[in-house]
Structure 1
């Protein structure tokens, strides 16, 4: 029997299950009819970003009850299973807010990146916006959040992002905290307007009603989001300067025990205040919240017989409640605390409503009675012991990490020292690291650099740690990353170096030191043996990793010998811990490790410890390509040269220095350094150099490319093998999304490999691809095959593009221009050819931002002024190809001939061909003009029979009369109006011709301008022009837009701002026509 879907679903998304375009269904039937005419009937999905099942929805029309969306029943008539928890009109507010706020920011000239955040309920708990140009962060919180979670998020975002603006939908303890700190708080709500939701921003002040205003009336300034009401508050001096950095305003604390709740602050130390200490009582730091008031920090005084409260619960004060306060001493402020005789533990929803905590246990579970609380062991958090003890423990563990020649993260440290460091806020972690490295000693490496973020990069607050220690901090993020890598190496060398290493100035191969026999003692192994064994242990692990990388490429005989050596080394490494624990066995373990390490080194190959000068008898490819460098200059070249200055020409010494350092990198096999030098050589080649220097740079780049390309391909092949083997392991997850993401990464690596892949890698790649296809087919078996194939292709392309987007963001944060350019080169074809129209529209601002970012960092080419003038003249001739006079063309060609004589190098082949074509056209026009003049004077040939004699044919016979242009303008305005209403997609002239049904002919450029002027002749002065929708074939600004604005008397826009202004006008046009 068919069952109806009784869930009244009011919101959906358009375009697909993962779409970000929301829509709300009207409740009245006549409004639903108009909704269907506008959006159709089969474009709606129960979107995953709404917390839905991802299936299609249909619209249900009723006359006697509310219209709504409904799931399609299956073949048996049973309704679909969907666990979506929110179905009302506000269930898609996070998508509407993301859409409208992004358009609002773009309308004010801000390029913003948006992201949806989950706070434990679903994908729509919060919406984040990053304004990278101004370094601002805007967060819309749409779900209620307890005070502890919000405080941790605010501290973390404030330390990492700087300025953060908070906008809340629910009213609660957090908004009162914001009002107490900065004098106001911002709220957000949405109102239904047809199939859309209108965003309103509210301003909350103490003792006043919320003032709601449309988002369009607000502004985004350097100080954050500003509403009209907030401007009035600032003008009246009612807003505190400093925002979240202010301490809360004083609060009146009513001492009515039944109306006061308390929660423990786990990050605060137990206070030791003699004046507040009373015999038989103890103090507990925490948060106190009276009913109807904000949360404040305070200490609670309890009798000794009352069990100590824990952070897992919220308590209500009971018994006799008083305020303990001391008299002020000198200039010191008085101390105070709240005194209570007993506590009552709140349960479930009562505790959650206070805003102080969210219970970690299920509501149906019974809580243990209060007398048993003292028996529960508290969590081992680093804030409870003294900070000095925690720092000492952390320092010892970091020394062991350095001795193992590795790095760590906060999560790994938590498991190693059995302290909950992973959940500490960033300010507390920063204080611990400062305590670890204090006092700062000259020449001693810092241990705090060994702690990395989960991504493997340095901590975001490492620069702050250096400043608090008084150490000089690098100026930029890229310099800080380079400094961190060097400092990590220094720390590892300092704590893992043997007692008598070879002198640093001797550039020889590492040879194992001969073990010294010492008199046997009853003591354990000495410190020198421990350090030497730790060093050997790290060397063995490194050699095992190198052996695993080269084993697939080794010959059968060498692979067999290498396998035996690896097996012996692994057995020896496994016995390191046992030998370290039993000191007497450490020295034999160390003595046995030397021949094992030597055998591995011999089979793998001896790396050169430091670069050696080239042999006298041999000449490297670089030495053949480049003249001999001046040795007096090479010694002064820094290890990492600064970014080339675009205004300074490159000298011979700088070119020689790069060639010398590339030769060193080539001998050492350092691919990363060679690629960096290749990028620097390319930038040098773009400067204004002499012809000889240009040829030398070209030869150097050619040699670099021949050496780098095969090795970069080999490195990509090794990385590809590792990715595929990780996906093929039996213990790996069978998650479809994980498999797709891994294969997207593998496809990017495949493009970097030259030629065909080895057979085993290709077989593994095909097997994983088949596994993904079969899983996707079984998941979408009810779709048509062609539609399924398109979905698979689109999903794969989108995943590859999103992976490249993350790579670009990471490279931008490290200021790594070569990595950004390489990823952008791979992302361009995916964006242009394989992404859907909706995805291209979403990522267009991102691609433009990356293009602008690269343009700011790539030095502009120095173009010869004469060559620039020749190109301008050729462009002007092309723009007036048909209406340019003979005299104008002759003058332009004469000037080009004069300028060509002053060029250091000749014109390119295409430019020379263009000049030759114009000389030919000039000759033809001169002949035609002479013929017309002879006909006018009567000396020319007679007019052929059948043709009446008359005046000469006027110029530009392909121009349309004004009446025809006016008729075409009416039809073009109708097409552009409909396009603006349906989303405002930009059109080319070809698209416009198709939409007009072929009524628009191919127009002369001047007629195109007159047509667009006629289209916008009736457009009001303040509205964006409909002709803004006309774009070039690559969806960029059309050259005619400037002339249309000039003809209509609009304000002139500077050339540098014209493209940004055009993009803003397109967004304004969409917003203006959307509801007309």
Structure 2
């Protein structure tokens, strides 16, 4: 959280309205030590606005997680795409590929899937159901799900559901997008075997389903045999149209029906279908050899993906697979070099940004210090000017009173006595003396003794000689203003004031 705050110090964060229930209000970050750091709304909602996100789980943002993962997956394969969100928002994500194809990711469990909407491929989100009959008809369906990552975040898993086998899950990185289909390591290549007692054999490397027929009778009754013929022909048509990996098993199934014997009409149909399948396989093998040869000459990522797609064919030779595997090693080495170069470039860019950020922070700090020093200087100047103005006003207020007070103190000296300011006010009628502040009194007595020679006692000694603590304090402040040293203790000061009082009385 500390790193996040530093990186996005000048960025405001808001409750996104693309999330279901989002209110659009500003968010703040909360740094916690007893739970996960998180975002929170400013204020407590006292203005009447409540955020609907607080009552919803993270699953309501699956459309945004879906876009993020698919966009990253497509970027690593240099495939450009645009994403849209059909209404109601969050129910689905549509991926528009640059070649015009579209992928529909259906996420709403409560809305029917639009199988006839024109999407090139439909992918079902977590918990979306598909009728068993439709799954058997389609032969497979792709699915996605989200798993929580330790420490925060979510990962996307990609799986393929096959009739009677459930869904096998794998990483999204293992999915290959070709010009013909969306391939995974678990996608089936043919439909279930139409012949009785068919046995499925799964090869670990390619996860292909190969049909091996174990015949138990010499012939099949006519009605049942015709039904099997129709199923075999349908399987071959579907394989030729949509499932290249299913053509070889479907063709073998047709050959097995011919070998088992059938009616002349069915025999003719099977032979025509067998010819179609064999010609397709021959053309496929020729295409596969040509692609492998071009791949050896020009090992590009696009050509490699095409070759990988063709190597999933059940009749791909070991020599072809080894050639593609060698190119894979070469391409991975190039990819690692490119990734390392990109990482070095990103590291250099981050380092430059950090230096620029540090320099900018230092400049801002220096400017802040300069502004603070300037403000402090201005404050000191204003305070000094204000103090000078106060002092000048105090001097002007007390200047006219100084002669009368000095005269009253001299009269007290002639009469061999001490006095106080209230007594002077009473005897002189100077009512202004009663309205003077302590600072005004100090300024007044400084003015009274301003002409006193350095070796002569201060006239204010006659006020302090009474021993009153307030008078002693006043005398100390006046003496300090005039640069006269005084004893530190009050006892020493009283002893000195007694001597000064005697000296002031003596001339008279």
Query: Into which bin does the TM-score normalised by the smaller protein fall?
Result: 0.3 to 0.5
From the two aligned structures, give the one with the greater helix fraction.
Answer: 2
Larger radius of gyration: 2
